[in-house]
Structure 1
Amino acid sequence: MANHKSALKRIRSNDAKRLRNRYQHKTARNAIKRLKSTEDKSEATKSLPQIMSMIDKLAKKNIIHNNKASNLKSQLTKHVTAM
């Protein structure tokens, strides 16, 4: 167990950040799944910029790697244009 006040605070803040990161990552993954499963091209093109923004924010906060973000965005763009 931690012996210092700062270590206890660090444990609390790390837990809060971990939960926030998990929530944001899971939300983005669910949005990506919804986009891939949709059949309507107009709805997909409308939601694509929002999902791109979510992916960019995850990469900016180092929740996912920059290359993974680029690959996801490329994959989704190809999927929507091929509809």
Structure 2
Amino acid sequence: MVRVSGFLSWGKSSKRNVICKGAEVGPSSTFWWNRRKKFDGGEPGVFRVVTTKNKEVHFVCDGGIEMAKLWVRGIELVTREAIFGKQEDV
């Protein structure tokens, strides 16, 4: 049995574990405004994850907007399974 947890983690710190509520392609307006002087707020591979505590975590992936859409879709699928409790035998 594979159990879906809905956690997104990166790095080795336990503080980098978040419970996802949703994901969207593209930066938020606040992120874009804060990064405007560095000219990297509007990169094509930027996507954001919204946590259950309404925090936004932004990520950049290689491969542009198409790859960002795949990441968002995968995160949405895992989050949906974790929330609605679907479990599948693998």
TM-score normalised per structure 2: 0.30
Structure ranking higher in strand proportion: 2
Based on CA coordinates, which of the two structures has the bigger radius of gyration? 1
Higher RCO, 1 or 2 (CA under 8 Å, sep at least 6)? 2
TM-score normalised per structure 1: 0.31
